[in-house]
Each structure stands twice: as C-alpha cells, then as structure tokens.
Amino acid sequence: MNERSEECPWFEQAVLDMLPELVGTARRLTRNREDAEDLVAEAITRAWVHRATLKEREHFTGWIIRILTNLFLSQRRSEGSHPHESLEVDEDFSLYERLHQPFLLWWSTPEQDFLDRLLREDLIRAIEVLPEPFRMVVLMADVEGQSYGEIAESLCVPIGTIRSRLARGRALLQRALWEHACDAGLRSESPERRPSSHG
C-alpha cells in the first residue's frame, strides 16, 4: 500500500511553488546563502510536521513564511543574540523630500527617476546594514508583508514598539539609499539641493 496520502503531493507542490519566496526571504534574513538554504530546509520540515496547524490551504504562503521567520528568530535567540536599539535615529528623514526639489520639478520628476534607477542590489545592501531590531521589522513588514500584529507576536513585543522600530528602520533605510545615491553620483548633496525643512 502507498503510504503517501494525497496531502503529500499537495504539500510538495505548494513548497516547490513557493521555493523562490522561501529562498529570497531566508537570504534576506540570514545574509548568507548556505545558512539560508539550511533555514529553508528546516522550515519545510517544521511546516510538514506542523501541517495540521494550517487551517486553510490558501493561507499556505503567509503560514510557511512565518514558520521560516520564527525559526530564524528562535535560532538567533538561542545564540544569545541581544540586539540593542538605543541608536539615535532621525525618524523624520524622508528620501522623497530630499529628492523632491521644487526647482528640479520644472524639467523632471526626480523621485520617479530615482526609483527607476534604483537597483535590487542597492536595496539589499541598504537593508543589510540596518541595526538588527530595525532590519527585522523592515524585512517582516516590507519584504514579507506581515501585519503589525503578526510581527509583534513573533518578536514578543507590543505593537507600539513595532510601529516605532518600523518608523526608525524605514528612516534609516531611506537615509542609506540617499547616501548611496550621493556616493554613486546619482544625486548631489550640494547646499543648494539640500532641503531647508529637514535635517
């Protein structure tokens, strides 16, 4: 008799369909290809063992991504990682305001041009250098698409903390993108281009 019931082929196909998302998310979390592959394999195994907790098959994507992320967080905790978040961050930094210079608007849309030229590698680099507490919430909210409530539950912190970390993480991310654009010569931070309202 075949031991593999009809749920095996379904689970296999669902995992294989999701593999690019699992690999991408794991690489962003671990910042390392080999660790990412081990994390994905472990998450798939855990998902299979706990498959009864998946109530609706249509929610498979969010469910297995959360398993993967929670597994990563659990591994980090067991390694004794205690990230600090006392870093001072200018939450008001806005990439849009840096780019949106009124005198430039006569002849272009600089913020759209910036996004058109933005490379995937630029974004990955900007996320990777974020301090850990901010990197995690930006990844979970913006890359994985988790809700504030889901992130708060995984990180065991109040939703207010998630809002705060997200605001600071996004500000740091936008500042990193701005500085990269200046370094790459895509933008000049000369005084005449510097907005007066935000520092």
Partner 1 sequence: MDKLNVMTCEEALRSLAAYLDDELAGDERQNVQRHLDVCRSCYSRAEFERRLKFELRKLGKDDVPVGFEQRVRRLLQSFTPSADTVPKDH
Q: How far is the CB of 120 from partner 1 (least distance, A)?
A: 7
Interface of this chain with partner 1, residues 8 to 47, rule: CB under 8 A:
8, 11-12, 15-16, 19-21, 23-25, 27-28, 37, 40-42, 44-46
Helical (H) or strand (E) element with 98? helix 95-99
Beta carbons within 8 Å of 140's beta carbon, 6+ residues apart: 69, 146, 150, 151, 154
Alpha carbon of residue 101 to chain centroid? 28
Which among 82-90, 167-175, 182-190, 191-199 is the span making contact with partner 1, rule CB under 8 A? 167-175
Gap between the Cα atoms of 54 and 14, Å rounded: 13
Gap between the Cα atoms of 61 and 14, Å rounded: 9
Q: How far is the CB of 82 from partner 1 (least distance, A)?
A: 26
Nearer to partner 1, 133 or 144 (CB): 144
Binding residue count for partner 1, defined by CB under 8 A: 52
Binding letters toward partner 1, positions 175-194, x by CB under 8 A: --------------------
**C-beta of residue 171 within 8 angstroms of C-beta of residue 92:** yes
Residue from 1, 4, 156, 191 in contact with partner 1 (CB under 8 A): 4
